[in-house]
Amino acid sequence: MSNDISDDPWAQRVYLTWLARDTRYALTALTALTAYAQNTPVPPAAWVCFEDFLSFLGKVSRTLWPAPGKGPNGTDKGLEWRTKRGPFLRKILEVEDSSPLKAREVRNGSEHFDERLDEWIVSLPRPTVEEWQADTKPTFPAPPMRLINVEAGTIQVAGADLDLRFMAEELQRLLTKIEDLEPSAAALPTDMAALLATLPRVPIIPFDAPAEDPGGIQAWLDEQNSTDPGTATGDTEA
């Protein structure tokens, strides 16, 4: 195994095909989300697409900007490659740090929405009947809503906005670049390309390669071809 991703075509193929897979799924979920969001009221299915979109967008982002540290089952070698993986992929795919793919505010806001509900609940005043009657009730903070703005083309989670049109353009640009570098990602179905890319590379064994018989595989084949068929099967002449 090479010590650098740039010298390992198989590793590059694995990374690019899986990144293409997650990018396509993010685009598919985003397209469905946009279609559902045209309805009034927005149907529950839109929020399923919303969560799917953020999930696959997170996978794309973490592939390009890996999380630090080894993780519970990590190794030093794996961490070394993870450290190299992000810069290498961003370079060949021409992804800048200013890319919307790196923005995590909306994703974090959605993944940790329960924590924001906790903070809202504990900060919400509990006015008494006397306060209501005296019209001295306190100001209530706005809940941490998740909103879809179809006209503006944005989604908002706990005050953080994500421009869906800009995101769609960047995801499509990324996918096109991946397919230019790794044609199999475009020629094959999404999951099949990713699966085939991860199969171990098996070296092609030439017929004259050495085997247990010093004569090699070719010598064994020659021996089989030169053997009398009747003798090989145990037959005798009548």
Task: Examine the pLDDT at 213 and tell me if it is beyond 70.
Answer: no
Query: Is there a contact between 85 and 5 (Cβ–Cβ < 8 Å)?
Result: yes
Distance between CA 74 and CA 65 in Å, rounded? 17
Distance CA 84, CA 121 (A): 43
Q: Quote the DSSP letter at residue 66.
A: P
Per mean pLDDT, which of 26-35, 105-114, 131-140 is the most reliable?
26-35
Burial class (CB in 10 A: 0-12, 13-18, 19+), 188: middle
Question: What residue segments make up the domains of the chain, in order of their start?
Answer: 5-123+141-197
**d(Cα 103, Cα 61) in Å, to the nearest integer?**
8
Tokens representing residue 131 in the block: 């306060």
Mean residue pLDDT across the chain = 82
pLDDT at 176 over 60: yes
- Give pTM, 2 decimals: 0.74
- pLDDT band (50, 70, 90) for residue 229: low
Q: Using DSSP bridges, classify how beta strands 160-163 and 154-157 pair: parallel, antiparallel or unpaired.
A: antiparallel
